[in-house]
Amino acid sequence: MSVEDVFNPCAATARRTLLLGAGAMGIAVLAGCGGDEPAPGAGGQPGGSSAPAAPTSARGNPFDDTGSGGSDEPKVPSNALVAVGEVPVGGGVIVKDAVLVIQPAKGTFKAYDAMCPHEGEIVDPPFDGNPIIQCPRHNSKFKVADGSRVAGPALRGLKGIRVEVRGGYVVRP
Ligand code: FES
């Protein structure tokens, strides 16, 4: 047992909780071990307030997309599908509106409608450089390179979606 375990029971509890997994009980235990800030109290009680805290960040409200925050952080384009860094090289991810975004080579992105043309199942993203996209339902296979059908009951390939990279995001132009 380390010195930290003796003087910081919350740290020890958190460690045990992590070892047991991230179940709802573990989250509840962790929530009870806050930092050095006072616990929020009910309205009218000493040291507490029922009013939500005002943003303390020098950058303003992180959910404010009006451009009034004066932040120099890049804005997420409204047509963004996914951040470039979230698409593995040699693999892909399914993003909103059932779009499969693939990065077959570093910096090269492709996108397809992820709905299988056979019966509409969402296809599995490729991984580890596999050149094939597979449908988990009846095993239709499609080429990463162009979405064309390779095998299986699907009669056609995946529908291509035009994408480009802008500001660190894969976007629909
Ligand atoms: S739904 Fe994809 S192969 Fe049948």
* Ligand 1 within 6 A of CB of 121: yes
* Ligand 1 within 6 A of CB of 40: no
Measured in whole angstroms, how far is the alpha carbon of residue 35 from the centre of its chain?
A: 26
**Which of 138, 149, 150 has most ligand 1 atoms within 8 Å of CB, for mutation?**
138
Cβ distance 118 to 158 under 8 Å?
A: no
Residue 75 pLDDT: 85
Cβ distance 118 to 140 under 8 Å?
A: yes
How much is the pTM?
0.60
Residue 107 pLDDT: 96
Per-residue pLDDT of the chain (173 residues; tens, 9 = 90+): 444 444 443 443 333 333 333 333 433 333 343 444 444 433 333 333 344 444 333 344 444 444 444 567 768 999 999 999 999 999 999 999 999 999 999 999 999 999 999 999 999 999 999 999 999 999 999 999 999 999 999 999 999 999 999 999 999 99
Residue with the smallest CA separation from ligand 1 atom 1 is 119
Residue 70 pLDDT: 54
Distance 137 CA to ligand 1 centre (A): 5
What lies within 8 Å, CB to CB, of 97 at 6+ separation is none
Map out the domains of the chain with their CATH numbers.
1-38 (no CATH), 80-171 (2.102.10.10)
Ligand 1 atom showing the smallest separation from residue 119 Cα: 1
**Six-digit token pair at 162?**
């035009």
Residue 3 pLDDT: 41
Distance 103 CA to ligand 1 centre (A): 23
Output the CA angle 59-86-108, nearest 5 degrees: 120
Distance 110 CA to ligand 1 centre (A): 21
The DSSP secondary structure of 19-80, one letter per residue, reads HH-S-HHHHHHHHTS--SSPPP--TTSTT--SSPPPP--TT--TT--SSTT---SPPPPTTE
